[in-house]
Structure 1
């Protein structure tokens, strides 16, 4: 979500050629707006639909002298157009008294039975798997894609504001959106050309990227990653279309008849094919739905044209408009192939009509289809390198041939505009401020380093008192093959300096062979995770008493050194070999000790552990997408599963290491998009330690004494309340995305979201490990007699940014100071 913040804030700091343009509002006789009314130019397939507030905008490259406005239950109206541009029209529709089949008038709700539009929809369902490239054994085609960001709703007040004083030249050439009618200023453009190959027999597809070119803020990794994550591929024939981590019901879905009203509106020839026009609009407000229309052929029942526009009442944040158009080519009587795909999103802080925002536009053009050319399976396995430097350095001749749709004058102007802006000090200041807020780092370009993370500057806990921290990292660009990073910290109560340092080197880009290492000396809360930390830079929020409940005095001094070798022999399959050496001791021995029985100690007890480990980790993340080929690529999606298998071997005696043991751990995390019912996140973790180890090396069931909702922790457990050497945990969290609240009249307009959670943990602790540790000031307990469990109910999207969870403890209520109930929360900018 930080990437989204960068887009919104960055661009917030910052006359077309059509022949016919119309805008206005459609109302009834009482003055109430009519949502989803049909606006169409006569004898054409060009039209639009009014939004929830009855407003519309339409433009065409053709000249029309009239427009037709209609809606079920009202008399149609033909309006003569005396001029090419007609803005702010007010159109009043009269209620129809026409009787149809003994029904006085159609209402907004359309029947599911005896509806010719629904009959056609059923034929689309039956034929959808026979249309397009699925009809052939093999296929290939060229794909050209351009993604653009524009500042919109530019008026004289904005241009003359102090914010843009001295930058007026930016607004010399403004264009008007053909979808919304708003003026806009292009700020970022990315172009990609690729060849796509597929085989329906063996179910394989690959895309070879041959060219990639960015203009604007191409060096900013967060913006580029946001763009990649924003526009994922979709198929309008699917039951649900995913945008911005939300599942919208497709108007072509088999569940569409329960979600949409359908009206058979018109029929005509398109490219010598007789087609039907069907208008659709949602049955209920506040659901993730579209409004629009589509044209469908009468024999193949393949979609010829379709447009989808998200309703303003849909439960989605920061997005005022989503508009999609798809056009299909008629190859022959039975084959319709996707020709052009256009998507526009209007990002804005407010959904008010005149609020300013950012257009994000993606245009994909497809051409040169070829079929039934068989290729060996190895062809699909050998994917080309999308980060080949040659891909990013194509000349103008390449792009002249690759652009299946030419750039317009405004898009060509982005190159010159951004080159100029980068030399303007005032603009650079705006950029720097927003970049710092989004990334947490202050860029020092002349030294190629970033200062930060600024959000970790201050802290407080019982051991250190007030704490300050400052850090830096090298940063030459998003594809750096090496990176150094470190920090220094100081506690004013313990009067001690702390530090952390790491170094990473990418030795081979193809296999992603990375060598890394580092050292850290600090204070940390280790009771927040079942796995031993090997992070030499991180610091959990649980280490600060400013945001914890109860006594946060079970902190650990950690002196950690690590060395790792990692490679990716197969896509999204990583293998990591590493070693670590750590010294662990209590940061507050009066309140929390890590003592263990040590026959070699003069007192028979030692309070510090020295431990050398080697570990092997296998990580599989199918479906994960990244951007950048450097040592630290950025994830651009979060809907992939993660499977992790880790083996750790502790070696006694090496570097005075204290214990010999083995540990095996497995975890599986999977997000599930459950159609229109929201998103379920599940995770399972299993582990076992073989051998005798003290408390500091055991697996602690993750408690959560913070005020924040942290996934994979138990918010009603204190730190170190349960300690295990064998364990199994399960976490389930489902976000209904407002599906329930949208049906409650009072709550409907608040766009709240329901979240439920269920968590469980089972574990054992051997008698030998209890006897070895036996610290005097905390009990050593494991949830062995019965599975420990919790459940929670949460409300999200409060004022669009807050979430609050009410957490309930299911059992073990007799534990000392057991917390039966707790409230946690979080905040963030989520769609």
Structure 2
């Protein structure tokens, strides 16, 4: 999330519209109060908008219009003559009226659900929605052109003359205003793609093949490319909920919409020779994730012809001041309505004040050349698509002239040239580098093809090392590198020792995702922060490097780890990894924390170091996961997919002086659940068992958390090594209501706080054989076998838009030594 935020900051550091009529202003009542959600349109047309919470509006049209018409329930309709093509700062005052329009049935206040013709029409939309669009055909295909643009907005003379842009004034030579908000803006980034899309409703499959891709100069930046891909995901207005920026907004066409929206039948007219009804909708309450706007729906098919959606300013979403969506549908075969144009604008800003400067993110998608009922063989859909074919990224102007389904305007054409120029300006390069470092965590050294970092791991503290510093680097030729080498050095001032880690990965085959990797690490680690162990040679938990902890953080381990693995992805999102590891484990603070175990072969009968050779097979399935890139390290661009993991480890005694024979089986299932308008639930279930006798360093430690940070999948009221098991089952549940509850409390609405509740539990046992083997340790060995250990928590998020505080309560086992019944943890981050 922090990478997304810093990308928006980067855009601060980029269209001549052909509109013939532009208007803006405010709608007030006779007492000077703003009229929210008033209907504003060019008279005798279907071009209109809705005023925002402050009664303000902006609108423009490619046509000439002479009269602006403003209306709202309970007020007289007001016609305002337009004497010029551009008319700004209109102040429209509506007078109350006891009369009702003859042609339209209207309601005022919180509109009734009974005897409301708009609700009757809405019910027919629900009944017909599965019959409209592409669902009517067995097979379909079409062309899809998409244009994503970012613009610096709210530009004024003070900004142009500011020190930030001194020497960069030339970028402001061509400026225009947004047709949605009326703000002056400058395009600074543009990305175009063209796809051929095929689908089969009988088989339930869909395939998109990239034909061409072009952007304005940042194709090699890992943070920017992933952000652009993730920013605008596809959505269907007929769905009950529309997901934007990790939030679920209630669709105005939702079956639950009647609980959160007011609907009013406002007008009816012919559009493209089809008689349509116009329905206005707006929220019943503030601070909820809802829209305001209107839509036109056909009177026979009840298919949507046009719709616009605008997020209300009071909606509980950060860093986004405006979200505006328009969709237009074409009529095919006299009855089928197919999506023709989809436009979405987001106004990113640090606050929601009208004058605040920000960044527009705009996506325009055009659909064309529909064809139906042309069957394709099943093999066609099974064939893999090379989404990153070099040919698609090197298309010439002839290709784009033919396939660009919507022409670029003057400023958009100039973005490519502008960015080429900007990248030669030292001041711009400095801005770019600073924000890139904050976003990715690495300092890019282009001439060496090297990244220094990550910068967020430079400092740490623990009881064994005291103050710790770390410096690292990795090779980086581009986001699609077939190989990568990464390493670090660290030094602890108390133990006066240098630690290190190095790893290498090589993508042998791009199609099967065959990856060979290996590495070595010698460091101090807090083991047991996760039940499902990994052999990541560069991994480092926050527990062993956190600056602040609760109680003594002295149960640390010296680890000397070497690992090698081979990974393949035979089916999309199904990864199989086999590998081996050899590790040496010993206590970093033997007086406080012992890993000693009974060893009959030792002269003293006790050993303090573990030497272990393991072979591991791991199966990871992530259905629905989307990634970007085809190199050895791909980036995830969504987070709503589930993760199923199966891990089998076999330990050997003998080879390389390895100490133990054992088998370990582990399974975990993680799933995010979008609970409609009630937020998101994260759930994780883990089970595991170790067969054979093993020392403490190889057992499953229930992950405690002695830091002040909220860490999912840990128990914040458990100390490290408070519970140790060889058989376990755990569950973690965390639900974020996204402000749904607080928005119902009047005095808390404006704070936009978000409520989070958590429930977690674990059951486990430790065999008598393992207790006897580990008898020499100097910490108590306990497992939650009598009853499941459990905790619950209540959290408040979005404090000052960046902070979250959790209040954690222990449910049982209060008699354990130094048991903590209550704790407070927190986290910070830039979340929408």
TM tier, shorter chain?
over 0.9
Instruction: Give the Cα separation in 1 of the matches to 2:338 and 2:777.
Output: 73
Instruction: Give the Cα separation in 1 of the matches to 2:395 and 2:699.
Output: 55
Instruction: Give the Cα separation in 2 of the matches to 1:90 and 1:446.
Output: 58
1:106, CA displacement in angstroms? 4.3
Q: Is the 8 A contact 1:206 1:383 kept in 2?
A: no
1:526 aligned counterpart, secondary structure:
coil
Instruction: Give the Cα separation in 1 of the matches to 2:777 and 2:475.
Output: 46
1:100, CA displacement in angstroms? 8.7
Instruction: Give the Cα separation in 1 of the matches to 2:30 and 2:533.
Output: 70
1:223 matched to which residue of 2?
224
Instruction: Give the Cα separation in 2 of the matches to 1:494 and 1:249.
Output: 56
Which deviations, in whole Å up to 9, do the C-alpha atoms of 1:78-110 show, x marking residues without a partner? Answer: 011111111111111111122699xx9943211
2:9 matched to which residue of 1?
9
Q: Is the 8 A contact 2:7 2:435 kept in 1?
A: no
Instruction: Give the Cα separation in 2 of the matches to 1:282 and 1:465.
Output: 55
1:119 matched to which residue of 2?
120
1:703, CA displacement in angstroms? 0.3
Instruction: Give the Cα separation in 2 of the matches to 1:355 and 1:299.
Output: 45
Instruction: Give the Cα separation in 2 of the matches to 1:600 and 1:383.
Output: 56
Instruction: Give the Cα separation in 1 of the matches to 2:620 and 2:808.
Output: 32
Instruction: Give the Cα separation in 1 of the matches to 2:391 and 2:777.
Output: 65
1:765 matched to which residue of 2?
766
Structure 1 residue 35 corresponds to structure 2 residue 5: no
Q: Segments of 4+ in structure 1 off by > 3 A?
A: 13-16
1:140 matched to which residue of 2?
141
1:627 matched to which residue of 2?
628
1:367 matched to which residue of 2?
368
Q: Is the 8 A contact 1:187 1:216 kept in 2?
A: no
1:153 matched to which residue of 2?
154
Instruction: Give the Cα separation in 2 of the matches to 1:198 and 1:544.
Output: 50
Which deviations, in whole Å up to 9, do the C-alpha atoms of 1:268-293 show, x marking residues without a partner? Answer: 11111111111110111000000000
Alignment map for 1:509-588 (pairs within 5 Å): 509-544=510-545, 546-588=547-589
Structure 1 residue 608 corresponds to structure 2 residue 570: no
Instruction: Give the Cα separation in 2 of the matches to 1:705 and 1:69.
Output: 60
Instruction: Give the Cα separation in 2 of the matches to 1:383 and 1:604.
Output: 59
1:235 matched to which residue of 2?
236
1:718 aligned counterpart, secondary structure:
coil
2:731 matched to which residue of 1?
730
2:805 matched to which residue of 1?
804
Which deviations, in whole Å up to 9, do the C-alpha atoms of 1:771-810 show, x marking residues without a partner? Answer: 1112442110011110000000001111110000000000
1:742 aligned counterpart, secondary structure:
helix
Alignment map for 1:783-802 (pairs within 5 Å): 783-802=784-803
Q: Is the 8 A contact 2:140 2:370 kept in 1?
A: yes
Q: Is the 8 A contact 1:545 1:552 kept in 2?
A: no
1:64 matched to which residue of 2?
65
1:376, CA displacement in angstroms? 2.3
Q: Is the 8 A contact 2:488 2:500 kept in 1?
A: yes
Q: Is the 8 A contact 1:98 1:105 kept in 2?
A: no
Structure 1 residue 48 corresponds to structure 2 residue 25: no
Alignment map for 1:234-253 (pairs within 5 Å): 234-253=235-254
Structure 2: give runs of 5+ residues left out of the alignment.
none
1:399, CA displacement in angstroms? 1.4
Which deviations, in whole Å up to 9, do the C-alpha atoms of 1:193-251 show, x marking residues without a partner? Answer: 11111111121111111111111322211111111111111000011111111111100
Q: Is the 8 A contact 2:514 2:566 kept in 1?
A: yes
Instruction: Give the Cα separation in 2 of the matches to 1:414 and 1:342.
Output: 20
1:29, CA displacement in angstroms? 1.1
Of stretches 460-469 and 615-624 in structure 1, the one that deviates more from structure 2 is 460-469
2:684 matched to which residue of 1?
683
Alignment map for 1:145-544 (pairs within 5 Å): 145-544=146-545
1:94 matched to which residue of 2?
95
1:6, CA displacement in angstroms? 2.1
Which deviations, in whole Å up to 9, do the C-alpha atoms of 1:532-554 show, x marking residues without a partner? Answer: 34121121111035221011000
Q: Is the 8 A contact 1:96 1:105 kept in 2?
A: no
Instruction: Give the Cα separation in 1 of the matches to 2:674 and 2:822.
Output: 30
1:660 aligned counterpart, secondary structure:
strand
Instruction: Give the Cα separation in 1 of the matches to 2:114 and 2:106.
Output: 17
1:651 aligned counterpart, secondary structure:
strand
Instruction: Give the Cα separation in 1 of the matches to 2:277 and 2:545.
Output: 64
Q: 1:105 to 1:130 in 2, by over 3 A?
A: closer
Instruction: Give the Cα separation in 1 of the matches to 2:433 and 2:777.
Output: 53
1:75 aligned counterpart, secondary structure:
coil
Alignment map for 1:644-655 (pairs within 5 Å): 644-655=645-656
Structure 1 residue 80 corresponds to structure 2 residue 101: no
Instruction: Give the Cα separation in 2 of the matches to 1:758 and 1:464.
Output: 34
1:546 aligned counterpart, secondary structure:
coil
1:222 aligned counterpart, secondary structure:
helix
Instruction: Give the Cα separation in 2 of the matches to 1:535 and 1:743.
Output: 46
Q: Is the 8 A contact 1:627 1:636 kept in 2?
A: yes
Q: How many residues end up aligned between the 2 structures?
A: 830
Q: 1:778 to 1:51 in 2, by over 3 A?
A: same
Structure 1: give runs of 5+ residues left out of the alignment.
none
Q: Is the 8 A contact 1:97 1:105 kept in 2?
A: no
1:258, CA displacement in angstroms? 1.1
Q: Is the 8 A contact 1:37 1:70 kept in 2?
A: yes
Q: Is the 8 A contact 2:597 2:777 kept in 1?
A: no
Instruction: Give the Cα separation in 1 of the matches to 2:267 and 2:455.
Output: 60
Alignment map for 1:632-671 (pairs within 5 Å): 632-671=633-672
Q: Is the 8 A contact 1:597 1:604 kept in 2?
A: yes
Which deviations, in whole Å up to 9, do the C-alpha atoms of 1:29-55 show, x marking residues without a partner? Answer: 111111101100111110011001111
Instruction: Give the Cα separation in 1 of the matches to 2:485 and 2:828.
Output: 31
Which deviations, in whole Å up to 9, do the C-alpha atoms of 1:491-549 show, x marking residues without a partner? Answer: 11111100000001111111111111100000010121113341211211110352210
2:740 aligned counterpart, secondary structure:
coil
Q: Is the 8 A contact 1:141 1:367 kept in 2?
A: yes
Instruction: Give the Cα separation in 1 of the matches to 2:29 and 2:748.
Output: 27
Instruction: Give the Cα separation in 1 of the matches to 2:739 and 2:605.
Output: 60
Instruction: Give the Cα separation in 2 of the matches to 1:217 and 1:174.
Output: 22
Q: Is the 8 A contact 1:142 1:368 kept in 2?
A: yes
1:527 aligned counterpart, secondary structure:
coil
Q: Is the 8 A contact 2:598 2:776 kept in 1?
A: no
Instruction: Give the Cα separation in 2 of the matches to 1:298 and 1:545.
Output: 63
1:783 aligned counterpart, secondary structure:
coil
Q: Is the 8 A contact 2:106 2:265 kept in 1?
A: no
1:438, CA displacement in angstroms? 1.4
Instruction: Give the Cα separation in 2 of the matches to 1:99 and 1:666.
Output: 65
Q: Is the 8 A contact 1:216 1:414 kept in 2?
A: no
Q: Is the 8 A contact 2:701 2:725 kept in 1?
A: yes
Q: Is the 8 A contact 1:462 1:545 kept in 2?
A: no
1:638 aligned counterpart, secondary structure:
coil
1:377, CA displacement in angstroms? 2.1
Instruction: Give the Cα separation in 2 of the matches to 1:531 and 1:366.
Output: 46
Instruction: Give the Cα separation in 2 of the matches to 1:655 and 1:536.
Output: 19
2:547 aligned counterpart, secondary structure:
helix
1:389, CA displacement in angstroms? 1.5
2:314 aligned counterpart, secondary structure:
coil
TM-score by length of 1: 0.99
Q: 1:99 to 1:392 in 2, by over 3 A?
A: closer
Instruction: Give the Cα separation in 1 of the matches to 2:591 and 2:345.
Output: 61
